[in-house]
């Protein structure tokens, strides 16, 4: 664990002198102003037995709360999430809530921790705990490994702040680098488009939402903008729609998770499951390789997590972590193809079937914008469920699955034409 010192102390001087700040639909707030309010709150922060909850709604109070827990000395434990779910008791200055006992990290984790809440789309929401002292090192890792991050003047996110990608890839870099931070809802793309026009920037949003944002951005200069497709699902058709509005923009695709932080980075729009190459400075490797070259992805680094509130975290004695993602190396041996998750692996007539391979085959069909594959394990045998976004037919989907090297017979195929209704707020296809 890190030392009990404020993780934001090294950036406070830069924030106090910065001309950048926070932009929301309610206005613009300079970092010096926000820092001054956070310092008052941090100076009088009373003891809280289980730490504090910082609201994740993207409001001004959520940013002030984040700054306050980063300045408080000694460093407290804190959770970025919904106070109604994780808090206990009345709020402090309507900004921080005492954390409930459910926010305590499991043994043997000691000392200050931070946690973000998962979305709970696969079950009961849980907390993933990290070391706050490592957050500045994580930002140095991103800026050192991605020139787009080092040169960005503005970071924008269209997501709740407890979404790990938004937290790591936009909020924390903007705060620690004292750059502009734009937090906006899907109906306020005009804010992001205006702030990013003509400036080097990073914008994180689900591809379906970024495509909507392109409509608000027509006529601007976005040659220095890198769009980060949160949650995956960036297809060539969708990339074309995004770049038709954000003229000249590029794409920065990333593979990562709440548990592992950022693993790989890619700058090509691909639909074959290729997820790019490891982030420079972040070790990534395959373990338990099978005869087909597929193994489990593991990593180490400052953005990895220490523990999970439900105890389910694949972490070894050396601090390496994994989510059970399955992958194999590309022909050059420098990048990875993602094959799915180990807990989603399906056996069909004794042969392993990787859901990502099935989804890639369906996405290649004309008229298909996206696809996702899940496993129905309610019956006596694993059954495959395919969800398609776009315009095609069930017969074509089944034919694509049947043409795979190891043919797959879906138990159920669902086709949804309306994009907006097909995705969660975090960019995942709703199965």
**Confidence band of 1 (pLDDT split at 50, 70, 90):** very low
Q: Which residue has the higher pLDDT, 354 or 161?
A: 161
The residues spanned by each domain of the chain are 253-343, 345-422
- Domain 253-343 annotated CATH 2.30.38.10: yes
Confidence of residue 121 (pLDDT cuts 50, 70, 90): very low
What is the pLDDT confidence band of residue 234, given thresholds at 50, 70 and 90?
confident
If pLDDT is split at 50, 70 and 90, which confidence band does 350 have? low
Structure tokens at 159: 């997501």
Q: Which residue has the higher pLDDT, 215 or 252?
A: 252
* Strand residue runs (E) in 279-329: 284-287, 295-299, 307-308, 314-315, 321-322, 325-329
Q: Which of 53-57, 249-253, 356-360 has the lowest mean pLDDT?
A: 356-360
Output the pLDDT for position 194: 94
DSSP strands (E only) in 27-125? 27-30, 52-55, 78-81, 97-98, 114-117
Mean pLDDT across the stretch 391-415? 89
Give the whole-angstrom CA distance, residue 179 versus residue 173: 8
Q: Is the dihedral of CA 414, 416, 421, 422 positive or negative?
A: positive
359 and 390 in contact (C-beta within 8 Å)? no
Token pair listed for 116: 């973000």
Q: In this structure, which CATH number among 3.40.630.30, 1.10.630.10, 3.30.1220.10, 3.30.300.30 belongs to the domain 345-422?
A: 3.30.300.30
Q: pLDDT for 184-196, tens place per residue?
A: 998 899 999 999 9
3-state secondary structure of 48: coil
406 or 123, greater pLDDT: 406
Angle between helices 207-216 and 236-245 in degrees, nearest 10 = 30
The residue ranking higher by pLDDT, 424 or 164, is: 164
Q: Distance between CA atoms of 278 and 255, rounded to whole angstroms?
A: 9
Q: Cα(263)–Cα(297) distance, rounded to whole angstroms?
A: 9
CB under 8 Å to 412, separation ≥6 — which residues? 376, 383, 385, 386
Q: Is the pLDDT of residue 120 over 60?
A: no
Statement: residue 378 has pLDDT above 60: yes
Residue tagged 């799915």 (tokens) = 340
> Residue 310's pLDDT band (boundaries 50, 70, 90)?
confident
pLDDT value at residue 409: 87
Share of residues in the chain with pLDDT > 70 (%): 91
* Confidence check: pLDDT of 305 > 80: yes
Burial class (CB in 10 A: 0-12, 13-18, 19+), 77: buried
Q: What is the pLDDT of residue 303?
A: 96
As a whole number, the mean pLDDT across the chain is 89
pLDDT at 418: 66
């Amino acid at each position: 664990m890190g030392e009990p010192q404020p993780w934001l102390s090294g950036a406070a001087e830069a924030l106090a002198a910065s001309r950048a700040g926070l932009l929301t639909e309610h206005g613009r707030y300079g970092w010096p102003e926000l820092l001054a309010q956070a310092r008052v709150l941090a100076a009088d922060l009373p003891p809280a037995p289980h730490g504090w909850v910082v609201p994740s709604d993207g409001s001004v109070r959520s940013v002030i709360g984040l700054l306050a827990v980063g300045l408080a000395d000694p460093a407290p434990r804190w959770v970025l999430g919904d106070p109604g779910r994780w808090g206990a008791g009345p709020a402090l200055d309507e900004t921080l809530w005492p954390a409930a006992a459910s926010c305590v990290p499991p043994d043997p984790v000691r000392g200050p921790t931070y946690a973000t809440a998962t979305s709970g789309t696969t079950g009961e929401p849980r907390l993933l705990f990290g070391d706050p002292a490592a957050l500045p090192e994580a930002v140095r890792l991103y800026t050192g490994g991605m020139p787009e991050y080092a040169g960005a003047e503005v970071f924008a996110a269209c997501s709740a702040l407890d979404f790990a990608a938004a937290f790591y890839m936009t909020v924390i870099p903007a705060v620690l680098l004292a750059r502009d931070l734009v937090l906006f809802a899907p109906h306020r793309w005009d804010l992001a488009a205006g702030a990013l026009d003509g400036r080097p920037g990073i914008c994180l949003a689900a591809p379906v939402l970024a495509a909507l944002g392109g409509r608000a951005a027509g006529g601007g200069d976005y040659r220095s903008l890198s769009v980060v497709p949160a949650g995956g699902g960036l297809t060539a058709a969708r990339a074309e729609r995004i770049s038709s509005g954000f003229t000249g923009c590029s794409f920065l695709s990333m593979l990562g998770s709440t548990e592992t932080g950022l693993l790989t980075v890619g700058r090509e729009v691909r639909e074959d499951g290729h997820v790019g190459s490891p982030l420079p400075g972040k070790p990534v490797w395959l373990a338990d390789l099978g005869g087909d070259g597929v193994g489990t992805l593991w990593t180490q680094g400052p953005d990895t997590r220490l523990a999970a509130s439900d105890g389910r975290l694949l972490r070894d004695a050396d601090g390496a972590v994994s989510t059970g993602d399955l992958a194999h190396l590309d022909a050059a041996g420098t990048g990875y193809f993602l094959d799915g998750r180990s807990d989603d692996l399906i056996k069909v007539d004794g042969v392993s079937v990787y859901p990502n391979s099935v989804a890639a085959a369906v996405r290649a069909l004309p008229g298909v914008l996206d696809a996702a594959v899940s496993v129905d394990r309610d019956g006596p045998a694993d059954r495959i469920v395919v969800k398609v976004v776009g315009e095609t037919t069930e017969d074509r989907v089944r034919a694509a699955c049947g043409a795979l090297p190891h043919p797959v017979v879906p138990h159920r195929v669902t086709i949804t034409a309306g994009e907006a209704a097909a995705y969660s707020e975090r960019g995942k296809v709703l199965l």
